[in-house]
Structure 1
Amino acid sequence: MTSTTPIQGNNQGRISRRFAELKQQNRAGLVTFISAGDPDYDTGLNNLIALSESGADVIELGMPFTDPMADGASIQKSSLRALTAGQNMQKTLQMVRELRKKDQDTPLVLMGYYNPIYCMGVDTFLAQAAEAGVDGLIVVDLPPEHDDELCVPAQKHGINFIRLATPTTDAKRLPMVLENTSGFLYYVSSTGVTGAAAPTPEKVEGEVSAIRAHTDIPIAVGFGIRTPEQAERIAKFADAVVVGSALTDCVENAATPAAGTDAIAELTRSLAKAVREAR
């Protein structure tokens, strides 16, 4: 059985502590996603703080990129809005610093693609991310074969590297996926892009159980979860429930930036309540 990879650094333990707390409380966690700087820096920061204050147990903050190939229309548009407003990696890291002035406890994971990190320089990025208060990375286009490029250096900086598994991750591939994964495993419950229709909870539960036979790392389930009712069903068996597209839709559909922030806070509160009451 594979366990969480030990890491060293000044951020050691924030994700592990949160999942230990959730286990002690006998409940699943709520993992929320928004794109950094959507629709602009100031509003994006307000949205980030709203997640923190409204019940998110872990926050995924998207690193906007021009070619988000694994994302559906909602997150693609959120990334484009942020880039159009001038969001870049330095501003994204600054948002993390601003959040840490208010919240030292909620784990924060940067999620996105390798290109912006590579362009900044891996060593520079990791040093600044650790200093800002980043706890984990999800980089969807770096497979395990390239662990030496970012995954292993990240863990040396005290930053968890969170891997994705999918329904097509077979028994032969799974050990390689799990080998250097730390923090938690993100189980993508459906094939395709983010925001796609979710499979039945019964099917996902069986797939998650099969993965648990190979690891004791927490498993967060996402893709296609949009409502409190859906989140509650997944929370009955997953260690955490991930919601992203529904939150980025709050920004797109809002009449004003402030209304978008209010909608994000309201949805997060309702999702958090559903997750907490699932067991």
Structure 2
Amino acid sequence: MSRLPTTFAANAAAGRASLVTFVTAGDPDPETSLAIVKALPGAGADVIELGMPFSDPMADGPAIQWSSMRALKAGMTLKGTLALVATFRKTDAQTPIVLMGYYNPIYVYGVARFLADAREAGVDGLIVVDLPPEEDDELCLPALAAGLNFIRLATPTTDDARLPAVLANTSGFVYYVSITGITGAATPDFSKVSAAVARIKRHTALPVAVGFGVKTPEHAAAVAQGADGVVVGSALVETIRTSLDGAGKATEGTVAAVTSLVRGLADAVKAVRK
């Protein structure tokens, strides 16, 4: 089994959800970004989603858009993102890493080259938000053939007629977007999350992780009651932003600010027993 299924299965066997944390590669600069990613597992992150910086992240709200802009300004590239993963893997062979982003940088890099380099670097899976199931030949099927999980998004508007197409080639886990709209734009209606997860699980045996709008330990605990995983992103990149100095540079407190929030989120998720 690859790292993603192993991690979700182990936490499920322990009676708890997994905490999935998102940060953008290279935010606020490559060196600090690597330090943050290295610190995430020790703070309680079970899975790391690493954003691939892109100039037009249309599914993301302001917090993640700004994180992409900071990373690009600091010189981060897709090649640099893969190098960050490879460096992380020198000291951590267990924590799953999923690259999340958009198809354009991958297309420019070259699909075959990207998949080979991602696998060699130690990437476990991909979330590419602007490739629908109708375009599976473009990246999804080659990724699966290369041994990478391809995680698909389901939303509140994904009905039972559409779900089979969404789930057909999905692996690793299903990412349920708990709001309609961009990342971090609203707070989910937590009373509806468990029912939505249950509906998806009638169509698949894969774990279902819930994200978009989960910002606090209280939010995380509410989602963990019904989901297999809790995804937090905008709150973390906003924590990075507010830790920077007046010139937008990292401070001595940047890594600590992120890990402090992750510890609170992890404690909340682990406290919900199933």
TM-score bracket, shorter-length normalisation: over 0.9
> What letter matches 1:260 in structure 2?
T
User: Structure 1 runs of 4+ off > 6 angstroms?
Assistant: none
Indicate whether 1:156 and 2:164 are aligned. no
Q: What's the % identity of the aligned pairs?
A: 59
Per the alignment, residue 261 of structure 2 pairs with 267
Deviation at 1:112, TM superposition (A): 0.1
Counterpart of 2:166? 177
Q: CA deviation at 1:259?
A: 1.3
TM (norm. structure 1) is: 0.95
Q: CA deviation at 1:50?
A: 1.5
Partner of 2:71: 82
Unaligned runs of 5+ in 2: none
1:120 to 106, 109, 124: 109
Measure the CA separation in 2 of the matches of 1:251 and 1:270. Answer: 16
Q: Given that residues 64 and 234 in structure 2 are in contact (C-alpha distance below 8 angstroms), is that contact kept between their aligned partners in structure 1?
A: yes
Q: Does 1:13 align with 2:2?
A: yes
1:242 positional shift: 0.2
1:92-144 superposed Cα distances (whole Å, 9 cap, x missing partner):
00100111011100000000000000000000000000000000000000000
Matched, 1:193 2:182: yes
Per the TM alignment, residue 207 of structure 1 is displaced from its structure 2 partner at its CA by: 1.1
- Per the alignment, residue 104 of structure 1 pairs with 93
Structure 2 residue identity aligned to 1:185: V
Q: Offset at 1:172?
A: 1.1
Superposition deviation, residue 191 in structure 1: 0.5
TM-score normalized by the length of structure 2: 0.96
Matches of residues 19-168 of structure 1 in structure 2 within 5 Å? 19-168=8-157
Residue 255 (structure 1) shift:
3.8
Q: What is the total number of aligned residue pairs between the two structures?
A: 268
Secondary structure of 2:19 counterpart: strand
Displacement of 1:13? 1.2
State yes or no: 1:212 paired with 2:201. yes
Q: Does 1:278 align with 2:269?
A: no
CA deviation profile, 1:64-111 (whole Å, cap 9, x unmatched)? 000000000000000000000100011100100111011100000000
1:198 CA displacement: 2.0
- CA drift at 1:278: 1.0
Query: Residue 90 of structure 2: SS of its match in structure 1?
Result: helix
Extract unaligned runs of 5+ from structure 1: 1-11
Q: Which residue is equivalent to 1:3?
A: none
Query: Which secondary structure does the structure 1 equivalent of 2:100 belong to?
Result: strand
